[in-house]
Amino acid sequence: MRTCLVVDDSRVIRKVARKIIEELEFECVEAADGAEALEACRKQMPQAVLLDWNMPVMNGLDFVKALRREEGGDKPVVVFCTTENDMAHITEALRAGADEYVMKPFDGDIIESKFQQTGLLRAS
């Protein structure tokens, strides 16, 4: 089964995201900040990363920059999922190597649509 790393410092958000992502038939791994997420990626590179922006220790933007420098770190599809919902943040995220961007609040339809956009899921 393919894995998706869910990175968010809110346990509640991680739980909601996990439920949605498991329904899309991904196995879920959780991390509470960018540094934990990077550790998880070094252990096993996931196929997808759902990534919050503002987190303690290492934020989402620094994580994606670091990930893209890792060996095999170009592979995972990185989908930001954040309350930062302005054009400047979106373009900065894309420039740093993110593939898609979800503006919170989100629901299952949006995650599914974004996973389709990036080819993680076939369009229904």
Residues found near another protein in the complex (CB under 8 A): 85-87, 90-91, 94, 100-103, 106, 109-110, 113-114, 116-117, 123
Please give the Cα distance from 4 to 37 (Å, whole number). 11
Q: Of 104, 124, 99, nearest to 114 (Cα)?
A: 99
Smallest distance, another protein to C-beta of residue 29, A: 24
Packed helices 34-43 and 60-69: angle between N→C axes, nearest 10 degrees = 30
Smallest distance, another protein to C-beta of residue 104, A: 9
Smallest distance, another protein to C-beta of residue 112, A: 9
Q: Which is nearer to another protein, 47 or 106 (CB)?
A: 106
C-alpha pair distances (Å), 106 with each of 40, 73, 109: 24, 26, 8
Please give the Cα distance from 114 to 7 (Å, whole number). 17
Q: Which is nearer to another protein, 54 or 91 (CB)?
A: 91
Smallest distance, another protein to C-beta of residue 81, A: 11
Q: Which is nearer to another protein, 40 or 51 (CB)?
A: 51
